[in-house]
C-alpha cells in the first residue's frame, strides 16, 4: 500500500552551500533532503521512500561546532510504500523456480509464493518453466498474480523487505493481463 507520510528530518547543509540569499538556501536544503531520502531507501516502520512531495517547514539552523555545517530541522510530506500482512495485492512474476515463484510489487522484488501455497498447481520444467493447474490459468514469468500477504520481514543490512504470499483464499490467482477497463 502506498502511504502519504509527514516526517521530521534533520538536513545537514555544508558551509560552502550556504548562501545568504533565501531561495538558494532553500534549494540547498531541498537538494540535500532529496539526496538523503534517496540514499535511505527504506525504513522498517515506514517502508520504501518514493518521493518528497512538499517541504512543510524549515526550522532554525544550528551550526555544528566541529565542521561548520548547519543542521536544519525540517518537516516534509512524502510517499512511501509498505506491504502489510493480510493485504491483498497484485504482483508480477519475475522468476520461476522449482519450489515457487518470485513476484515484484512496486519497489519490493522479493515476494515469494511457495508451491505449497499454490493449491492445484504443479511445476513443469521447460525452457521457460511454468506452474500449471487444471482449473486455473498458468503461472509463468510476467504473469500478474493476485495474492494475500502472509508474512513480511525487514532486512536491516540490505534495507529491504521480503514478503511471503499465498494463493489460498477466494478470488486469488493469476489475473488477466489485459486491463478490462481500457
Cβ atoms < 10 Å from Cβ of 66: 6
- Residue 87 grid coordinates: 493485504
15 makes contact with other proteins (CB under 8 A): no
State the binding string over 69-108 for other proteins (x if CB under 8 A, else -): ----------x-xx-xxxxxxx-x-----------xxxx-
| Residue 170, C-beta contacts closer than 8 angstroms, at least 6 positions apart | none
Cα separation, 182 vs 179, in Å, equals 6
Residue spans of alpha helices (H) in the chain: 22-40
Minimum CB distance to other proteins, residue 131 (Å): 21
171 makes contact with other proteins (CB under 8 A): yes
Cβ atoms < 10 Å from Cβ of 160: 16
Query: Which CB atom, from 13 or from 164, has the smaller least distance to other proteins?
Result: 164
4 makes contact with other proteins (CB under 8 A): yes
Q: Which of 149, 165, 173, 174 binds other proteins (CB under 8 A)?
A: 149
Minimum CB distance to other proteins, residue 55 (Å): 14
User: What would you report as the CA-atom Rg of the chain, rounded to the nearest whole angstrom?
Assistant: 22
- Residue 44 grid coordinates: 522498517
Minimum CB distance to other proteins, residue 68 (Å): 29
Cα separation, 30 vs 45, in Å, equals 23
Minimum CB distance to other proteins, residue 59 (Å): 22
Query: Which CB atom, from 141 or from 146, has the smaller least distance to other proteins?
Result: 146
Does residue 116 sit in helix, strand or coil?
A: helix
Contact residues for other proteins (CB under 8 A)?
A: 1-5, 38, 41-42, 45, 48-51, 53, 79, 81-82, 84-90, 92, 104-107, 109, 146, 148-149, 151-154, 169-172, 179, 181-182
Amino acid at each position: 500500500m502506498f502511504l502519504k507520510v509527514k516526517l521530521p528530518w534533520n538536513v545537514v547543509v555544508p558551509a560552502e552551500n550556504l548562501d545568504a540569499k533565501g531561495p538558494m538556501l532553500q534549494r540547498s536544503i531541498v537538494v540535500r533532503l532529496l539526496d538523503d531520502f534517496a540514499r535511505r531507501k527504506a525504513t522498517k516502520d515506514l517502508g520504501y521512500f518514493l518521493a518528497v512531495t512538499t517541504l512543510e517547514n524549515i526550522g532554525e539552523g544550528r551550526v555544528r561546532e566541529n565542521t561548520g555545517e548547519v543542521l536544519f530541522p525540517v518537516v516534509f510530506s512524502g510517499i512511501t510504500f509498505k506491504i502489510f500482512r493480510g493485504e491483498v495485492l497484485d504482483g508480477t512474476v519475475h522468476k520461476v523456480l522449482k519450489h515457487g515463484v518470485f513476484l515484484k510489487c512496486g519497489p519490493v522484488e522479493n515476494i515469494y509464493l511457495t508451491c505449497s501455497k499454490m493449491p492445484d498447481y504443479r511445476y513443469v520444467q521447460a525452457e521457460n518453466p511454468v506452474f500449471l493447474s487444471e482449473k486455473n490459468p498458468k503461472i509463468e514469468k510476467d504473469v500478474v498474480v493476485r495474492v494475500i500477504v502472509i508474512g513480511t520481514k525487514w532486512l536491516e543490512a540490505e534495507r529491504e523487505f521480503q514478503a511471503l504470499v499465498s494463493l489460498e483464499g477466494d478470488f486469488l490467482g493469476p489475473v488477466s493481463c489485459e486491463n478490462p477497463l481500457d
